[in-house]
């Protein structure tokens, strides 16, 4: 075989290997892009879902929360080996542009209309990620939370504005004087709350929770238009809650307060606690825990077509959908399925 032919074959082989390598690199880059977008999409959607305005009545807060949107700027994605960054643009009502109506015309509906008519503001937040055990993880969640808080929260209470101008408080919508009852829904239902799933939905920062914690509750709809939600075996639930908190106290403190384990230990020492058991036993509010996941409540209810609304005695309102013998009840950011007993 001639030298020229040998060289030509070698060049062709080299080109094929190079092309294969490029194809492999392109495939890895595309997979990395998909993985990063998935992680950022999950985080951004949770930011929107968990955003809780605190600027007035429930209706006013909902009007503000409804203006929050986000868009991932895929063109901004930069990947450098095991590091990456990408921008997310959050859009929210511009609080400074909410035009409070003039004296004599201020009411809750007017405030909501002013929120809907106001301009929006944008904030671009850069997400930084690292590849950890073949998984892309966000490494600047605290900075993201700070940047978001700079535009997402303001100290204006629009309900107070209404009270000052009109010189009377705006009452929250209340339940009907005569409950609207559908006899077909009267009865008892059993539901199960996966507390770990609930915590993961509500957490501000991601954390790993260990173990299982499922609470069983009974929803009773009475023919007189009243309802009761009671925990099944509350003593066992409280004991399970105590065990769960002891085993997950560092994760819980970080997820909901950004408190590191060192900060937690320092706080415990300041209060004279030497173990997680002591800390939990002296700070656990069992009644608040049961109420917070709608396991301990009562009040009245109304049924309209396939929708049920529970007006709890504590002022909370829960809405659900009815499908045959199943009621799916929404509480904050989670849902519980109740099935007829």
In a domain, 249, yes or no: yes
Residues 192 and 112 in one domain: no
Residues 191 and 161 in one domain: no
pLDDT at 162: 44
State pLDDT tens for residues 84-116.
999 999 999 998 888 765 433 346 777 888 889
In a domain, 176, yes or no: no
pLDDT at 200: 79
- Phi then psi for residue 240, to 5 deg, are -65, -40
Residues 113 and 226 in one domain: no
Is residue 136 a contact partner of residue 129, using CB atoms and an 8 Å limit?
yes
Question: What share of the chain in percent tops pLDDT 90?
Answer: 28
pLDDT at 312: 87
**Domain final residue, candidates 136, 166, 196:** 166
Per the structure, the complete domain to which residue 52 belongs is given by: 25-166
**Domain final residue, candidates 131, 166, 201:** 166
pLDDT band at 183 (very low <50, low <70, confident <90, very high): confident
Is residue 321 a contact partner of residue 307, using CB atoms and an 8 Å limit?
yes
Mean pLDDT of 26-46: 91
Q: What is residue 237's three-state secondary structure?
A: helix
CA distance 320 to 316: 13
Residues 57 and 204 in one domain: no
pLDDT band at 181 (very low <50, low <70, confident <90, very high): low
Residues 157 and 245 in one domain: no
Mean pLDDT of 268-277: 84
pLDDT at 288: 66
CA dihedral 336→201→58→326, nearest 10 degrees, is: -10
In a domain, 16, yes or no: no
Mean pLDDT rounded to a whole number for the chain: 79
Helices within the chain (DSSP H only): 3-50, 58-65, 108-117, 141-152, 158-166, 195-202, 234-257, 261-270, 276-283, 286-292
Residues 192 and 77 in one domain: no
Residues 213 and 265 in one domain: yes
Burial of 141 (0-12, 13-18, 19+ CB in 10 A): middle
pLDDT at 34: 93
Residues 209 and 292 in one domain: yes
pLDDT at 124: 95
**Domain final residue, candidates 137, 166, 195:** 166
CA distance 208 to 196: 10
Lowest mean pLDDT among 108-117, 165-174, 183-192, 250-259: 165-174
Judge whether residue 18 has pLDDT over 70.
no
Lowest mean pLDDT among 10-24, 76-90, 99-113, 187-201: 10-24
In a domain, 148, yes or no: yes
Residues 129 and 190 in one domain: no
pLDDT band at 292 (very low <50, low <70, confident <90, very high): low
Judge whether residue 7 has pLDDT over 60.
no
**Greater pLDDT, 121 or 297:** 121
Total of domains in the chain: 2
In a domain, 275, yes or no: yes
Residues 212 and 155 in one domain: no
Residues 152 and 190 in one domain: no
- Phi then psi for residue 33, to 5 deg, are -60, -45
CA distance 129 to 122: 22
CA distance 14 to 2: 18
Residue 188 sits in a domain of what CATH number? 2.40.128.300
Judge whether residue 178 has pLDDT over 70.
no
In a domain, 282, yes or no: yes
Specify the pTM: 0.44
Is residue 229 a contact partner of residue 217, using CB atoms and an 8 Å limit?
yes
In a domain, 4, yes or no: no
Residues 199 and 334 in one domain: yes
In a domain, 230, yes or no: yes
């Amino acid at each position: 075989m001639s030298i020229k032919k040998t060289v030509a074959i070698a060049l062709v082989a080299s080109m094929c290997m190079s092309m294969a390598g490029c194809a492999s690199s392109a495939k890895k880059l595309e997979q990395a892009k998909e993985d990063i977008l998935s992680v950022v999409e999950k985080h951004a959607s949770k930011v929107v879902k968990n955003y809780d305005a605190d600027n007035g009545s429930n209706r006013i807060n909902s009007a503000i929360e409804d203006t929050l949107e986000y868009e991932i700027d895929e063109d901004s994605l930069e990947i450098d080996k095991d590091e990456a960054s990408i921008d997310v643009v959050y859009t929210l009502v511009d609080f400074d542009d909410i035009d409070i109506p003039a004296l004599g015309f201020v009411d809750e509906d007017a405030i909501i209309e002013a929120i809907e008519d106001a301009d929006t503001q944008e904030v671009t937040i850069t997400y930084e990620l690292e590849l950890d055990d073949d998984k892309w993880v966000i490494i600047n969640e605290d900075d993201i939370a700070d940047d978001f808080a700079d535009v997402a929260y303001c100290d204006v209470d629009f309900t107070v504005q209404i009270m000052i101008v009109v010189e009377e408080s705006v009452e929250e919508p209340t339940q009907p004087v005569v409950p609207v009852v559908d006899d077909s829904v009267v009865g008892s239902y059993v539901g199960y709350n996966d507390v770990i799933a609930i915590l993961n939905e509500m957490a501000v920062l991601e954390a790993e929770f260990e173990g299982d914690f499922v609470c069983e509750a009974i929803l009773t709809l009475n023919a007189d238009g009243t309802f009761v939600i009671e925990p099944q075996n509350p003593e066992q639930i409280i004991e399970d809650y105590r065990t769960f908190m002891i085993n997950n106290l560092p994760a819980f403190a970080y997820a909901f307060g950004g408190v590191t384990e060192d900060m937690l230990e320092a706080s415990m020492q300041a209060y004279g606690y030497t173990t997680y058991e002591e800390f939990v036993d002296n700070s656990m509010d069992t009644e608040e825990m049961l109420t917070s996941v709608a396991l301990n409540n009562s009040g009245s209810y109304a049924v309209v077509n396939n929708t049920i609304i529970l007006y709890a005695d504590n002022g909370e309102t829960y809405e659900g959908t009815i499908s045959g013998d199943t009621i799916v009840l929404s509480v904050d950011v989670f849902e519980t399925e109740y099935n007829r007993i």
